[in-house]
């Protein structure tokens, strides 16, 4: 199975997708919609974090649309190898790093602040709420960071997790996308 980059400098490039029951690729249409929303919300596009990266399509799409650096996290070694192949194929290997470990572990050692954070776990993973709280308390979230969480429409997320508050939600079939930002203390 392959998917394509929908916009930016690598538009049209085909990406490999891992064959796995745990990987649920985000459709081209949904990714295009997400980046359209981000274009109106994101004020900075320097650093991106793609958690549960799978094929790396979300982070690679961000790089294609002028993000300067992307970190990818996935615990499946096959997924990590495919992300690295995809980065090489589109010429972004020098603008990214792949961490092959559990997302919960990555959140303990990553230290940079990210402008855009994608969180796209398998729908069967019930830890998304806990991860949102862990992320909210981490130093990865800045005042202008946006967290884009993908989840089943049958499993809605809360309005807020610690300092992260929902600012937009969209539904595409069974996929819901919830966008959060950090509330600034008043």
Q: What is the pTM of this model?
A: 0.93
Please identify which residue in the block is written with the tokens 């946006």. 146
CATH number at residue 85: 3.40.50.150
Q: What is the pLDDT of residue 18?
A: 79
Can you tell me the distance from the alpha carbon of 152 to that of 174, in angstroms, rounded to the nearest whole number? 6
More confident residue, 153 or 86: 86
CB atoms within 10 A of CB 171: 11
Question: CA-based angle 180:86:47, to the nearest 5?
Answer: 35
Q: Which domain, by its residues, includes 85?
A: 2-182
Of the pLDDT bands very low, low, confident and very high (cuts 50, 70, 90), residue 175 is confident
pLDDT tens readout for residues 69-125:
999 999 999 999 999 999 999 999 999 999 999 999 999 999 999 999 999 998 777
Total structural domains within the chain: 1
């Amino acid at each position: 199975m392959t998917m394509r980059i929908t916009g930016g400098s690598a538009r049209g490039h085909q990406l490999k997708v891992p064959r796995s029951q745990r990987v649920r690729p985000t459709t081209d249409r949904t990714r295009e919609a997400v980046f359209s929303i981000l274009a109106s919300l994101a004020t900075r596009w320097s650093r991106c974090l793609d958690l549960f990266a799978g094929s790396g399509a979300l982070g690679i799409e961000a790089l294609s649309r002028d993000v300067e650096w992307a970190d990818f996290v996935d615990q499946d070694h096959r997924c990590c190898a495919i992300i690295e192949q995809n980065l090489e194929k589109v010429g972004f290997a020098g603008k990214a790093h792949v961490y092959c470990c559990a997302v919960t572990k990555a959140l303990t050692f990553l230290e940079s602040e990210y402008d855009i954070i994608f969180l796209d776990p398998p729908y069967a993973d019930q830890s998304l709420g806990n991860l949102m709280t862990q992320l909210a308390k981490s130093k990865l979230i800045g005042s202008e960071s946006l967290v884009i969480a993908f989840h089943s429409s049958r499993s809605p997320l809360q309005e807020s997790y610690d300092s992260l508050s929902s600012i937009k939600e969209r539904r595409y079939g069974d996929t819901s996308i919830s966008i959060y930002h950090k509330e600034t203390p008043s």
